[in-house]
Chain A
Amino acid sequence: MSIYFDNAATSFPKPEEVCEAMLQYQRELGVSSGRGAYKKALEVDGMVFKTRSLLGRLFNIKDATRIIFTSNVTESLNLALKGLIESGDHVITTHMEHNAVWRPLKVLEEERGLKLTVLSCPEGEKFNPGDLEKAISPETRLVVVNHASNVTGTLMPKEAGGICREKGVPLLVDAAQTAGVYPIDVEELKVDLLAFTGHKGLLGPTGTGGLYIAPGIDLKPLKEGGTGGESILERQPDHLPDKYEAGTPNLVGLAGLGAAVRYILDRGLENIRRHERELTQRALETFPQVPALTLYGPSSAEERVAVLSFNLGGLPPEEVSYVLDEAYHIMVRAGLHCAPKAHRCLGTVDRGTVRIGLGIFNTEEELEYLTKALKEIAVQAKS
């Protein structure tokens, strides 16, 4: 038997309902959505809407037409950043961002002369809301931060939305690590752009994701093309979501994502969060018992999602993950986790960390087994 602790990369396994919905779509519907066609196509169109409206319920988005489907959060972030930033704009972000934020920002720096302010997050703690307030200037066009770090699980400070709203600066949140596992209410968080991916905490298949665009925010589309309607127009239609959804959508994926969100709503997000918080708390208590283990990030489970990074003495992270896999059949991730700047905050740029991403299907027993394995590796490494 093997144990999967890489849910921060992608969640596994998926609920049976997700697999069934995908199979059912492919076997029994299988046609493209869009109008001007036959009833079955309209039924598929209805399925896509259902997925959109379930996501609306999960995130408290009243107008589901403002949820744009993309192929993953990377595309959502690219659309938000490249669709909004204009030449000479000022943008604020943090050192803890994923490359899905960093790399588009770097391109915009080169191509559109974007000016960047980067908030520091010493030792992987959350940034100081006061720093954010001070960094905002009249030229600031956007604040972009992750809702939770994919390296340390650190949650964004709750004050961020209020500060941005007060200063009239849009807030773009990368919710890759929180959607489906931590409560998100776009009104309460005061986010203007919420980017999420379908295949992590949302428990859907890969190749799904989305972007919520609040009223009043207008983005340039990343792509133009067919929309299944309004074919007579030479330009991309102005209305959401069609404006941003050119091309045949990932229908089999959206069937699965819909079933996944339904599963989350049925199980109750509070229950999912409680389970993951308890597991995280357990890990925070037991990991320090492992000799020479350095744990990074906040010490309280309240301040993080179920993602933990650590190092074991001087052992290279790759070696730890290799031994865990080979000798214990435990799957964890090693390296920089696509967030090189975050490791500057942690002091781990030269080697990265071992990361575990806990999920709703993980148990305390599995965590015990991991702790035992780590203890054994630590002892062996010493001798």
Chain B
Amino acid sequence: MLLKDVELTYVSPCLADPQKIRLKARLSDDISEVMPYLNSVVKGAIYNHHAPNISFHKEFRLITLYPTEMTMIKALNTTDAWQVIEWLKELINKTHEKKDEIEPSYERKRRPHPLQLYTWLPATNCRECGELSCIAFAVLLFSGQQKLERCKPLFTEKYREHKEVLMEMASVLGGGEDIRIHY
């Protein structure tokens, strides 16, 4: 077993959605070596081999794994979070166990789907970016015809977490290469 234990260290409400929570946890063991394998088996994962870190969704929750830490955004409550952590532990340990059967992927990133981008936009349809709706903005962002910075609400404190997630995603899309990651 690679990862024996996960310890929650910080929990607070999501800034943009106080109905949900965000959290940090400490991993008892270094999971760096399993990341390229997770990158192969988890659909839609975004992997940065040099950091290293890997992010992916579990339904509406966003998980980011670091060597000995993890974060989760938009969990429903701590029970929900613990349940996802249990699932994650199993995913990590099973993937590690089956390492020899999996082709690791060092691919830096995968292109996120426009709808994945949309999930993290404010969904205010404020039109400040010049588009009619957030969906339209997401599609244009995806095709490199819009820039994340044009979304004004995103750069307010309320959407800080969303902005960070989107920046990470946008950095694969062209259009946003100049943006550094702030985790």
Residues of chain B having any CB pair with chain A under 8 Å: 7-9, 11-13, 18-19, 21, 23, 76-80, 82-83, 86
Residue in contact with A49 in the complex, picked from B12, B76, B82, CB distance below 8 Å: B82
Chain B residues closer than 8 Å to A34, beta-carbon distance: 78
Separation in Å of the A56 CB from the closest CB of chain B?
9
Separation in Å of the A216 CB from the closest CB of chain B?
17
User: Do A35 and B11 touch across chains, with their CB atoms under 8 A apart?
Assistant: yes
User: Do B19 and A49 touch across chains, with their CB atoms under 8 A apart?
Assistant: no
Residue in contact with B78 in the complex, picked from A35, A39, A238, CB distance below 8 Å: A35
User: Do B77 and A239 touch across chains, with their CB atoms under 8 A apart?
Assistant: yes
Q: Which residue of B lies closest to A245 (CB)?
A: B79
Chain A residues closer than 8 Å to B83, beta-carbon distance: 49, 53, 63-65
Binary per-residue interface labels of chain A (40-59) against chain B in the complex, 1 for a CB within 8 Å, 0 otherwise: 00110110110011000000
Residue in contact with A52 in the complex, picked from B9, B11, B79, CB distance below 8 Å: B79
Q: Does A1 contact B (CB under 8 A)?
A: no
- Given A49-B83, A53-B83, A229-B21, the answer on whether A36 and B12 have CB atoms closer than 8 Å is yes
Q: Which residue of A lies closest to B82 (CB)?
A: A49
Q: Does A139 contact B (CB under 8 A)?
A: no
Q: Which residue of A lies closest to B80 (CB)?
A: A65
Separation in Å of the A254 CB from the closest CB of chain B?
12
Chain B residues closer than 8 Å to A237, beta-carbon distance: 19, 77
Separation in Å of the B129 CB from the closest CB of chain A?
29
Q: Main SS of the interface on chain B? A: mixed
| 7 pairs of residues in contact across A and B, judged by CB atoms under 8 Å | A45-B82, A46-B7, A53-B83, A65-B83, A232-B18, A239-B76, A241-B79
Complex Cα gap A48–B81 (Å): 13
- Given A35-B11, A46-B8, the answer on whether A233 and B18 have CB atoms closer than 8 Å is yes
- Give 8 new A-B contacts, CB below 8 A, not counting A49-B82, A240-B79, A242-B77: A35-B23, A42-B9, A53-B82, A63-B83, A64-B79, A65-B79, A233-B18, A239-B19
Chain A residues closer than 8 Å to B80, beta-carbon distance: 65, 239
Complex Cα gap A64–B87 (Å): 12
Q: Which residue of A lies closest to B76 (CB)?
A: A239
Q: Does A376 contact B (CB under 8 A)?
A: no
User: Do A230 and B78 touch across chains, with their CB atoms under 8 A apart?
Assistant: no
Which of A39, A46, A233: most chain B Cβ within 10 A? A46
Complex Cα gap A49–B76 (Å): 14
CB proximity to B under 8 Å, residues A85-120: none
Separation in Å of the A226 CB from the closest CB of chain B?
13
Separation in Å of the A70 CB from the closest CB of chain B?
15
Complex Cα gap A53–B13 (Å): 24
User: Do A42 and B8 touch across chains, with their CB atoms under 8 A apart?
Assistant: yes
Q: Which residue of A lies closest to B10 (CB)?
A: A42
User: Do A36 and B11 touch across chains, with their CB atoms under 8 A apart?
Assistant: yes
Separation in Å of the A230 CB from the closest CB of chain B?
6
Complex Cα gap A53–B90 (Å): 14
User: Do A49 and B78 touch across chains, with their CB atoms under 8 A apart?
Assistant: yes
Separation in Å of the B11 CB from the closest CB of chain A?
4
Chain B residues closer than 8 Å to A240, beta-carbon distance: 79
User: Do B86 and A229 touch across chains, with their CB atoms under 8 A apart?
Assistant: no
Complex Cα gap A158–B78 (Å): 36
User: Do B79 and A242 touch across chains, with their CB atoms under 8 A apart?
Assistant: yes
In the A-B complex, the 3 residue pairs with the smallest Cβ-Cβ separation, listed nearest first, are A35-B11, A49-B82, A42-B8
Separation in Å of the B80 CB from the closest CB of chain A?
6
User: Do B79 and A230 touch across chains, with their CB atoms under 8 A apart?
Assistant: no
User: Do B9 and A39 touch across chains, with their CB atoms under 8 A apart?
Assistant: yes
User: Do B86 and A45 touch across chains, with their CB atoms under 8 A apart?
Assistant: no
Q: Which residue of B lies closest to A34 (CB)?
A: B78
User: Do B77 and A230 touch across chains, with their CB atoms under 8 A apart?
Assistant: yes
Complex Cα gap A49–B18 (Å): 22
Q: Which residue of A lies closest to B79 (CB)?
A: A65
